[in-house]
Amino acid sequence: MRAGRRTVISAFLLSAVLAVAGCSSTEEGHPNAVGEAPGDGGAPKAKIVADPAADAKDVEVLKPVRISVTEGTLTEATLTNTEGKQVKGEIAADKLSWTNTEKLGYGKTYTYAAKAKGTDNKDVELKGSFTTMTPAKQIRATVNPVDNATVGVGMPISVKFDTAPKDKAAAEKALKVETSPTKVEGSWAWLSATQVDWRPKEYWPANTQVSVSASLYGVNYGNGYGRADVTSKFKIGRNQVLKVHTPDHNLKVYRDGALAATYPASNGKDADPNLNTPNGTVIVMAKEEVGDFSNPRYGYTNVKKKWAVRISNHGEFIHENEENRANIGKANTSHGCVNLFEADAKAVFDAVLIGDPVEITGSQANFPTTSDVNDWLFSWDKWKSMSAIK
């Protein structure tokens, strides 16, 4: 009897131990904090996975955050930044994944939390956090024309970087030009290590609305990362083109292809190519009511002229020069500028927009392609070859 009683007691104790061990195993739960209903007798089928994974470091800010589930559907998903604000995102229509729609910040920690219901009707959840990268160098960019500008039909779009991007193709791929009401053919071209311009194949159609988006934030240039996105929305004005055929000693203004005005002019000296008004298509770059044309190299200082319209950084302007009145309309005697009578210079000054094309022909010399604004000095095929995207 005593031996049998001990056997029953031992069996009872063993059963109790097994029961305790069973409870302990259930409470440990899923390693990804996947919950299951008490006493359900098995692990949930649904599994939630996050990318980036929990505790990931130096995550690229442009890397999409994706929370996905298998054998279930997401019921909730959030991503919260260091300040406790939720990052914008959305669950897919099939409820199998969540992705952020808002870009991440540099050097920040993000916390995610997600819940799902499995095909077995069991609830699971996932929590974790990761940290984004802090770039050693951030590269700034600007875009021109600026918002709300109205410019001429020859105006290029310029994006300039404060440091030359090593990976120019990566930078260029982040740039986009949209036009309305019609689509305008054009291309990007690198004019220097720090400047890329977009130019239409032909002059812009009049009254075109242009939207530029440079989605450069987070772009890896190979020697730094984009500091910020930049955008611009501007308008193309009326179609106006200035034409100078230097042997004719005049400047002609065309509107919509029709001659609108002719002004007598004196251009650069014909005999000296260094003093020619060079051949080529340039644009109106800037306007000054009074310009300083001092040039000690040629022996004149403190020379001020009215109604100065800059057409290159090579030194050429359209401006009044009453001191050269005797030659205006008769002979080319300037040092490269287009000289006009004062009243005519004022009329041109008032009529032009930044970006109006100026087409010059008839000279011995051509404009050098080293000027800051030289977009129209290249053939279309050459222009396209200057893109970093092949």
Concatenated DSSP letters of 126-146: EEEEEEB---S-EE-EEEESP
Q: Which helix (H) or strand (E) holds 339?
A: strand 338-340
Measured in residues, the chain has a length of 390
Residue 21 has pLDDT above 60, yes or no: no
What six digits make up the tokens of 183?
A: 């689509």
Distance CA 60, CA 12 (A): 59
Which residues make up the CATH 2.60.40.3710 domain(s) of the chain? 138-237
- Taking all residues of the chain, what is their mean pLDDT, rounded to a whole number? 90
Mean pLDDT value across residues 18-31: 34
Which residues make up the CATH 2.40.440.10 domain(s) of the chain? 240-377
Confidence at residue 211, expressed as pLDDT on a 0 to 100 scale = 98
Topology of domain 30-131 in CATH is Immunoglobulin-like (2.60.40)
Q: Which amino acid would we find at residue 383?
A: W
CATH of 240-377, one of 2.40.440.10, 3.40.47.10, 3.40.228.10, 3.40.640.10: 2.40.440.10
Q: 5 phi and psi, to 5 degrees?
A: -65, -40
pLDDT digits (tens, 9 = 90+) for 344-363: 999 999 999 999 999 999 99
Q: CA–CA distance from 344 to each of 10, 142, 307, 355 (Å)?
A: 117, 36, 9, 20
Residue 317's SS3 state is: strand
Catalytic residue among 30, 249, 319, 335: 319
Q: Which residue has 């404009």 as its token pair?
A: 367
Distance CA 253, CA 244 (A): 9
Distance CA 83, CA 86 (A): 9
Confidence at residue 370, expressed as pLDDT on a 0 to 100 scale = 82
Which residues make up the CATH 2.60.40.3780 domain(s) of the chain? 30-131
Is the domain covering 138-237 a CATH 2.40.50.100 domain? no
Cis? peptide before 278, omega within 30° of 0 = no
Confidence at residue 41, expressed as pLDDT on a 0 to 100 scale = 60
Mean pLDDT value across residues 243-262: 98
Confidence at residue 165, expressed as pLDDT on a 0 to 100 scale = 98
pLDDT digits (tens, 9 = 90+) for 130-169: 999 999 999 999 999 999 999 999 999 999 999 999 999 9
Is residue 23 flagged as an active site residue? no
pLDDT digits (tens, 9 = 90+) for 75-103: 999 999 999 999 999 999 999 999 999 99
Confidence at residue 40, expressed as pLDDT on a 0 to 100 scale = 55
What six digits make up the tokens of 117?
A: 């219901």
Query: Global pTM?
Result: 0.84
Span of 27-36, 62-71, 116-125, 295-304 with lowest mean pLDDT: 27-36
Residue 30 has pLDDT above 60, yes or no: no
Is residue 245 flagged as an active site residue? no
Distance CA 147, CA 283 (A): 20
Catalytic residue among 30, 249, 335, 337: 337
Confidence at residue 39, expressed as pLDDT on a 0 to 100 scale = 43
Mean pLDDT value across residues 280-293: 94
